Copies of this chain bind each other. A is one copy, B any other.
Amino acid sequence: MDYEKFYASRVSIMRPSDIRELLKWSLDKSVISFAGGLPDPKLLPKSFELEGCFEYLMAKNEYAFQYGETEGVGELKKEVVRFSKKYGNIDANENQVIITTGSQQALDIISRLFIDKGDYVIVELPTYLAALQVFNLSEPRYVGIQMDEKGMRTDILEDKLRELKSNGILPKFVYTVPTCQNPSGTSMSIDRRKHLLELASKYDFLIVEDDPYGYITFGDEKVERIKAMDKEGRVIYLSTFSKIFSPGLRVGWVIASEELIRSIAIAKQGMDLSTSPVSQYIALFAMEKGIIEKRIPIIVGEYKKKRDVMLQSLESYMPSETRWTKPIGGMFIFVWLKDMLDTKLMLEKAIKNYKVSYVPGRSFFIDGSGRNTMRLNFSYPSEEQIREGIRRLSNLIKEEYGSTS
């Protein structure tokens, strides 16, 4: 049997992300990696934080180690409701929440519920690669919307929507990571968030608000979730414990209308029956004991320092005609080089000669643009590594500029 015949096409649209391929290179200790998207290993849960967690799990033994409800552990959904209100200003009841196996599964479910082959899905330029990968399984048509330092250009979105409508096309949804976006690090302004909601109402589409970084912003100003301003139940809100506690639990959540949550639960049941109750009870323990609320300011403090070190290093080392974003939180800074450069072609030299790695930006752009961009992660490397790594990267870029000028 020609296996390829079966799944070649699918595999081609599900090619492993550059990011994960690059993670393997980063194993060479002499290479400073800005390519990953991992939390700082020093900020993963500590023994003292989780003291009593084992006894807690064992006390809940017959729930934690048994099959669980597809919708998630009830007490955890309660904690998510409380947390979302307190830190995200989101009003929701328990029936508007479902626990998912990370936000990635939520993206998969949304893709399967909403996208028929050929449907229109609107994404940012650039956008989150793993979202594209899973959307691709349903073979949608994409419309990409440019971003600037205030996030998605909703004026351009409006033009596109008008154009689509004139052709009788209704997009299924707009996918956005409005706060500290991966990969760009930019955040959508409050005005544009409101404009996006107005457009959703006027042109009758849903908004998928993917918010893994909204709880680790560095400033005092609170970022208003689009979901918090959602009057018509048009926003499907995704978040996760991955950045505020532990990615290893693979526990995320969705907040949406009760009607939608019911459909998501039916789809999820076929996909994995439920998210690991063991993982859910560990997350519940961390919520109930206030562990997560205690650690968020610590994570924020550490990442803020690292972001500052990276910004300062970029300032001091990078040649002119190079620009980058100034994120208010999250884990990433996005860099633009001279137009004629191709960061993908530069990568091998970066790793082999300069012992530094990054993610070429092109794969984040559904329109094939972004050849001259790169994503830099500042959460994983140490401050010293950030300084030295940006110095190495700058030397490479200077060499490239030299050879192209």
The CA of A267 and the CA of B11, in the complex, are separated in Å by 7
**Interface status of A169 (Cβ within 8 A of chain B):** no
Tell me if B65 and A248 are in contact (CB < 8 A): yes
Q: Do A277 and B248 have beta carbons less than 8 Å apart?
A: yes
Contact B113 A137 (CB under 8 A): no
Closest approach, in angstroms, between the C-beta of A64 and any C-beta of chain B?
5
A282 at the binding interface (Cβ < 8 Å):
yes
Tell me the A342-386 residues at the B interface (CB within 8 Å): none
Q: Produce 1/0 per residue, A277-302, CB < 8 A to B.
A: 11100100000000000000000000
Within 8 A of B (CB), among A193-224: 204-206
Which listed residue (B53, B133, B248, B263) contacts A269, Cβ 8 A? B133
Query: A276–B252 Cα gap in the complex (Å)?
Result: 12
A6-B113, A269-B17, A273-B102 known; A65+B278 contact, CB < 8 A? no
How many Å lie between the Cα of A54 and that of B55 in the bound state? 10
Nearest CB on B from A15, distance (A): 7
Chain A binding surface, main DSSP class: helix
> What residues on B are CB-neighbors of A263 within 8 Å?
3, 7, 10-11
Complex Cα distance, B297 from A301, in Å, reads 51
- Contact indicator A108/B66 (Cβ below 8 Å): no
Nearest-neighbour CB distance to chain B for A93, whole angstroms, equals: 18
Answer whether residue A22 sits at the interface, using C-beta atoms and an 8 A cutoff: no
**Among listed A42-50, A82-90, A174-182, A304-312, interface-contacting one:** A42-50
Contacts of A10 in B (CB 8 A): 112-113, 263, 267
Chain B residues closer than 8 Å to A278, beta-carbon distance: 246, 248-250, 276, 278-279, 282
Asked if A134 is at the interface of the complex by the 8 Å CB criterion, the answer is: yes
| Chain B CB within 8 A of A335 CB | no
A63 nearest CB across to chain B (Å): 8
B-facing residues in A12-52 (Cβ within 8 Å):
14-17, 20, 37-39, 41, 44-47, 50
> How close is A288's CB to chain B, nearest CB, in angstroms?
17
A residues 41-81 near B (Cβ < 8 Å) are 41, 44-47, 50, 53-55, 58, 61-68, 70
Across the interface, name the chain B residue whose C-beta is closest to A16: B266
In the assembled complex, which residues on chain B have CB atoms less than 8 Å from the CB atom of A275?
A: 250
Contact partner of A66 (CB less than 8 A), chosen from B53, B54, B247, B265, is: B247
Q: Is A338 an interface residue (CB 8 A)?
A: no
Per the bound structure, the CA–CA distance linking A68 and B55 in Å amounts to: 26
* A44 touching B61, Cβ below 8 Å: yes
A152 → B minimal CB distance (Å): 20
B14 touches A101 (CB 8 A): no
In the assembled complex, A104 has its CB within 8 A of some CB on chain B: yes
Query: Which chain B residues lie closer than 8 Å to A45 at the CB level?
Result: 61, 65
Say whether B250 contacts A273, CB under 8 Å: yes
User: Is A190 engaged at the interface, CB distance under 8 Å to the other chain?
Assistant: no
Complex A-B, nearest 8 residue pairs according to Cβ-Cβ distance, in ascending order: A54-B54, A65-B248, A134-B270, A65-B246, A248-B277, A250-B276, A44-B65, A133-B270
Interface pairs (11), CB distance under 8 Å: A10-B113, A17-B269, A65-B246, A65-B248, A66-B248, A68-B248, A102-B272, A105-B272, A108-B271, A248-B276, A278-B279
